[in-house]
């Protein structure tokens, strides 16, 4: 048997933690989309969130960029993403995750509410 001090250490790369965080954010958004029938939320949940992580020792700091449906409770969705990323990264890596910054990159509006769609519909009707 090898003594604890002689075994070495396991290092989890930043990109691995980022991938776990991205998947966790996607899970959180899909769970939220399942409770709301709005098509924009479903479209947004289908987009894969982009994540970046910085690991130092046993601590991971994560930044996640998401796309959300609109109208929706953006604050609640970001909170759900933040909580789920902390939980999943912690349980899968054993790391402490004191910081998860969630950035909203895009809001998806249902197709029928796009202003350019309304403008085209109006022009098509009047001739």
Q: Which tens digits make up the pLDDT trace of 56-97?
A: 989 999 999 999 998 889 999 999 999 999 999 999 999 999
pLDDT at position 49 over 90: yes
Query: Could you tell me how far CA 110 lies from the centroid of its own chain?
Result: 20
Spatial CB neighbours of 49, under 8 Å, sequence gap ≥ 6: 22, 25, 26, 29, 64, 65, 66, 67, 81
pLDDT for residue 127? 45
């Amino acid at each position: 048997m090898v003594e604890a001090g002689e075994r070495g250490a396991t290092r989890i790369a930043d990109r691995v933690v980022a991938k776990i965080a991205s998947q966790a954010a996607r899970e959180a958004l899909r769970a939220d989309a399942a409770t709301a029938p709005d098509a924009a939320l479903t479209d947004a949940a289908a987009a894969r969130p982009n994540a970046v992580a910085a690991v130092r020792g046993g601590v991971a700091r994560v930044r996640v960029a998401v796309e959300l449906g609109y109208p929706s409770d953006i604050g609640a969705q970001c909170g759900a993403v933040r909580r789920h990323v902390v939980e999943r990264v912690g349980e899968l890596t054993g790391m402490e995750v004191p910081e998860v910054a969630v950035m909203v990159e895009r809001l998806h509006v249902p197709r029928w509410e796009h202003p350019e769609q309304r403008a085209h519909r109006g022009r098509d009707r009047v001739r």
